[in-house]
Amino acid sequence: MRILLVDDEVELTNPLSQVLSREGYRVDVADSGITGSKLALKQDYDLLILDWMMPKKSGLEICRELRQQGKTTPVLFLTAKDTIDDRVLGLDAGADDYLVKPFELRELLARVRALMRRSLNFESHTQPLKVADLELDKENQLAYRKGRAIELSEKEIQLLELFMRHPNQLLTHSQIYQHLWSEDEKPNSNVLAALVRLLRRKVEAKDELPLIHTVYGKGYRFGEIN
């Protein structure tokens, strides 16, 4: 899961990018609105975290440019502006959420997780899923590989969808737990490993290339690896 952080305050971006990286996100940092705008329009990100006020090009301008280009990437504003008029202006520009400075890191992480989940839910209704020779029919709770139908449980569907929406990316144990279970649920530490094992048995039949790859001590990567 890839995040672009755009802010001209190095004393904020350095620790914030480190915290996000420890949570398992891939973070690109831009220290100016102009650089941030170029990256946001050129690369594909799962989330943009934009400072509202920056010289030469503000986060508000970046957000407007993205929406004019038809990009639907979620945008979280970091801003010192906290009036109702400011909030309306940001939302009208296409922002999905905002956080007033100074803020607690745990609140920012919670908002990042919420926007990531919302993005995945939106994509599930707009884009078909296919990775290598595996297709997912979420609506009918089935997967197909080389002509065979694979019946999946609800949790297996959720896990497979997460994998297929982020092919060849490292998904950490923490990220997967956050996506599959709510904060009120506290599954045993072995539950995820067991779920992955069951999914492997179903989608990786004999003589089929493996798609689910364990990154020991970190998480899993999904896709064909030559």
Candidates 20, 11, 14; CA nearest to 48 is 20
Quick one: average pLDDT of 162-180? Answer: 88
Distance, in Å, from the CA atom of 185 to the CA atom of 48, rounded to the nearest integer, reads 28
Residue 120: the pLDDT is 64
> What average pLDDT score do residues 201-215 get?
92
pTM: 0.57
Q: What angle do CA 41, 43, 44 make, to 5 degrees?
A: 105
Phi, psi angle pair for 212, to nearest 5°? -100, 115
The DSSP line for 142-169 is EEEETTEEEE--HHHHHHHHHHHHSTT-
Range in 10-19, 47-56, 139-148, 179-188 the model is least confident about: 179-188
What pLDDT is stored for residue 5 in this prediction? 92
Name all domains of the chain by residue range, CATH numbers in brackets. Answer: 2-122 (3.40.50.2300), 128-222 (1.10.10.10)
